[in-house]
Structures are given as structure tokens and as C-alpha cells.
Structure 1
Amino acid sequence: MKIIAVVSMKGGVGKTSVTANLAAVLAENAAPDSIAVLNLDPQNSLHLHFGLGIALEAGVAFQTEKDGDWSELAFASDYNVINLPYGEVNEKQRKRFEACLSNHPDWIGKRLHQLGLPEDGIVLIDTPPGPSVYLRQALDCADIVIMVALADASSYATIPAMESWLGNMETHATLENCVLLLNQLEPGNKLNTDIATALANSYGERMIPYGIPRDDEVSMAFAFQQPLNHYSPDNPALEQFQQVVDWLPLDERYTA
């Protein structure tokens, strides 16, 4: 089983949307019950990309040291993607969950491997922006880390700080398996293009060469609680999502 952590330095870069649409593209040619998404962001919105409003209240954040079985929290969707939502919790419950994660650095990894996904399964983990106990847990079990950023001045200035955190956290994931993905690219914007070129020169092979273009239909798909490939199957941005999936170092093809 491959575990992919999707991370970002700051909010507003479309990280959750990228997670959902990469999972949906992976699921198109995947065997049933082999693609899953785990939401470790307290905003708890990832499952809405898959039409699972029913999963709003239940979630992994209700689980602590004494009750670690996630099987009842794995919500099937109409898009061949299993969802593990964060859950709608109050402040006390959130702090309890975070204390559990702090006390048990391997908590998330163990729960994922107990889900019973097939050996060729893939789990994508959505994390809140910046350093957190959720990020540490995700990095400790991830095989691949996708750092999502915009090609703007703010991201250009803050990506080195994110790299520093990733390099100093002493987790299973290292900078060697961390790759940069640019989202919401605007080919007609010179500053956007110049920054994308500068980042490509800096990160070389660690930058995914297929950035995701800005497209209003990505937001519209979320409004209709569908992944992009179902809301607008002919959208050109889907080619970039597919290219990202094909580029990722996944050892095997996942076909039904």
C-alpha cells in the first residue's frame, strides 16, 4: 500500500481540491476499494468533494488510544474512493485527539494499515497548512509527499520554510521523497510564469513538471460535491491531473 501525504505551507492553495481530484483520477482505473482519502484537516471538507455530506459528523478525530478501529469510519462513495473524514468535533474533542497523536507518533500509520486495503491500494492524506501534529503523523507514514503551492510571490518566499520543517522533523518521509506541485497556474500571467520557471530551476527533478491550471470548473465541481472528472469529464485540466498521477513514483499500475 502506498501512502501519499498532501501538504502546504499556507492555506488557500487548493490543497484539498488537489487531493480529491488526484484520488478521483487514480480511482478511474483502480480495483474497487483500493483508493482512499484520509482527512487530517480540522476544517473537515474533503469528503464533500465526493458527495458525502452524511459523513460530516462521524470521523477519525473521535478516536483515541482506547478505540482505534477505523473500519466503521470508512465511507464508500459513488466515485470508487473510500473516505475517512476528520469529523465534526468541538474544541475539547479536537484537543483530545491531538494529544493522542502527540503521545503516539505512529497512530495514523497503524490505523491505515489495519483498514484492510489491498497491497496495491493507495491512501492520500490531506493535512492542514503549516507545521502541526497532523503533519508529523502524515510524514511519519508517507511514502510520497506532495507539497502544493501557487506560483506567486508569497509561495516563493515561504516554500523554503516548509522545506526546512520537512527536513528537520525526523520522520519516515524525507526531502528525497517530497515533490513540489504548482496549482492554479495562469499561462498568460507573466509573474506567475516567471515564478514557476524559477521554482523549476531550483527544484529540478523534485518539481512535478505538470502543474494544475486555474479553472473555475474545479470550484464548480466542489459546489456540486463531485470530483472534476465526473462533473466535467472533458475539462482540459484533467489531463494535468492524469499526468501528475502517471509521473508519481508508484511501483505498480492499479487496474481492476
Structure 2
Amino acid sequence: MKTVALVSTAGGAGRTTLAAALSVLLARRGRPVAAVDLDPQNMLGAHLGLDTFARVGFGHAMAGQVEPWQGNTWRNADGVLFAPHGETTLAERTAYEARLAAEPRWCAQALARIDLPPRGVVLLDTARFPSQQAVHALRAADLVLCATPPEPAACATLARCFPSLRNTAATVKVVVNRLNPAREMQRDTLALLRAAVGDALELAHRVHFDAAVPESLARGGWIFDDAPHSQASHDLHGLANWLDAWLDGNIAGDSERTR
């Protein structure tokens, strides 16, 4: 079993959408998938098909209020096992952030209890980096996918944070989300980002902007079902194919993490 953390250093990067989409696409490829929401916004469940926001979840386990946390999991129509964050108060979040600071391996140890076969994968949707949730996700991860929109402020923030992201035993890749090649500013921004992150930014890790993505989500669907021939659908399938191959160790140049 491997763990993949979806992180971002700026808001509006589409991290949660990517985490949910990759979970579904990998599950449809026959891979056992668990998705865990470490973000207090508690939005991953809405993307994965929950009709209401889960009241209790992983956040309460982090705060020491719910044990074991596996008792508050769901499985969606695509077979993704899902652990929501749950609706937490400010006091509860303060408590679990203090616990995470005091117990650096808490999340990694909790996630190790997920009973998936060797080909299984756990995808983590985290609060924005830097945060205790994101740092714990990095410690638990074999692979980190850092989502960013190709906008100057977001990419500058990522470039500043990238050394900290890469200071981990995990492989780190950048996913450029909501790309619009017609905008010259975005092309210039990507050139500057590539200079900052090097081989972490690859052609395969780009998802083009498509206004149909939020429309599909609002209807409870997916762009790759509603518009399977769109560029965004092609990009998401390509990213899922790359991730599927990486998980099987078929990507040259990316060594596996040794735990």
C-alpha cells in the first residue's frame, strides 16, 4: 500500500477536486483506493457523493474524541473507501493541531491501520501548506502531488515553499491545474515555475481549464463522464494513468520510498 498526498500552497488550486477525481479514476482502473480528508473545510465528501457534510470523522480522531476513526468511513458508488474530516469547532481544531505538533508520526501511524492490499493506495486531501495537517501528510506520503493554478501569486508562493516540500522522503511532483495556454501570462509564469522546481514539473502533470468541471460537480457527476472527449477529461485520465504506473513502479527515474 502506498500513500499519495495532495497539497497546495495557495487557495483555489483545485486540490480537493483533483484528489476526488484521481480516487475515482484509480478505483475504476481496479485499484483499491481509500481517500482521507485532512482539511477542516470537510469538502472531499461532497465531491465523492455524500449528500450532506459528514458530522464526525478523522478530525475528531485527531482531537482524541473518536476511536477508532475507521468507524466513521463510507464507500461511494465507485468503490472508494472514504474517511471524512467531519465538522469540527475551532476549539477541536486547536486541540488536534496541538496533538499533531506533539506527536509527529500520529497520522502516519493512524493511516497504517487502513487494511488495503499491496496494490492499494491512500489519497490524502490536506489543508493548505504550511499547516500541521499538510506536514503530517508529507511525513506519511510516498508521493506528493502539489496542485497550483498557473497564476503569478500562486506560483511564487509555491516556489518559496518548494524547498520545504521537497525536504521529505517522498517523491514530489507539481500538478498545474486550470491551465489556459491562450493566456500569455500563464506561459511566462510556468517558465518561471519550471526554473524554481525543475523536474518536479512535467508535461504529464497539467490539467486544462474547463468551465464544465464545476458544472459537472454541481450535478453530482464528473467531467470525464459528462464530456469524455474534452481536454480536461483527457488530462485527468492522463494524470491517473501516470499515477497508476507510478504506483506499480513503472516510472523511470522515480525511486520508491523506503519506509
The TM-score range, normalised by the shorter chain, is 0.7 to 0.9
| 8 Å contact kept, 2:129–2:135 | no
Note the 1:1-256 alignment, pairs <5 A: 1-31=1-31, 34-54=32-52, 56-63=54-61, 64-65=63-64, 67-167=66-166, 171-173=168-170, 177-210=171-204, 211-248=206-243, 249-251=246-248
Q: CA deviation at 1:130?
A: 2.4
The alignment partner of 1:136 has SS state of: helix
Which of 1 and 2 has higher RCO (CA within 8 Å, sep 6+)?
1
| 8 Å contact kept, 1:13–1:149 | yes
Q: CA deviation at 1:233?
A: 3.7
Identical aligned pairs, as a percentage? Answer: 29
Cα distance in 2, alignment partners of residues 209 and 226 from structure 1:
27
Q: CA deviation at 1:55?
A: 5.1
Amino acid at match of 1:157: A
Amino acid at match of 1:147: C
Q: CA deviation at 1:226?
A: 3.1
Cα distance in 1, alignment partners of residues 154 and 65 from structure 2:
40
**Unpaired runs of 5+ in structure 1?**
none
Q: CA deviation at 1:47?
A: 0.9
Amino acid at match of 2:234: E
Amino acid at match of 1:102: A
Amino acid at match of 1:216: A
Cα distance in 1, alignment partners of residues 6 and 234 from structure 2:
20
Greater fraction of residues in strand: 2
Give the structure 1 partner of residue 255 of structure 2: none
1:7-34 deviations in Å (ceiling 9; x for gaps): 1111111111111111121111124xx1
Alignment TM-score, normalising by the size of structure 2: 0.86
| 8 Å contact kept, 1:61–1:89 | yes
Q: CA deviation at 1:73?
A: 1.8
Distance 1:191 1:202, change over 3 A: same
1:155-205 deviations in Å (ceiling 9; x for gaps): 23212221133245xx543xxx11111010002111112222343354342
Cα distance in 2, alignment partners of residues 54 and 150 from structure 1:
28
Q: CA deviation at 1:68?
A: 4.0
| 8 Å contact kept, 1:47–1:55 | yes
| 8 Å contact kept, 2:159–2:196 | no
Amino acid at match of 2:34: A
Cα distance in 1, alignment partners of residues 248 and 68 from structure 2:
28
The alignment partner of 2:208 has SS state of: coil
Cα distance in 1, alignment partners of residues 72 and 226 from structure 2:
26
The alignment partner of 2:34 has SS state of: strand
Aligned residue pairs total 246
After superposing the two structures, state which structure 1 stretch, 230-239 or 102-111, moved more: 230-239
Cα distance in 2, alignment partners of residues 194 and 245 from structure 1:
27
1:101-154 deviations in Å (ceiling 9; x for gaps): 222211112222212111111111111112111011101110001111111211
After superposing the two structures, state which structure 1 stretch, 92-101 or 21-30, moved more: 92-101
Alignment TM-score, normalising by the size of structure 1: 0.87
Distance 1:207 1:189, change over 3 A: same
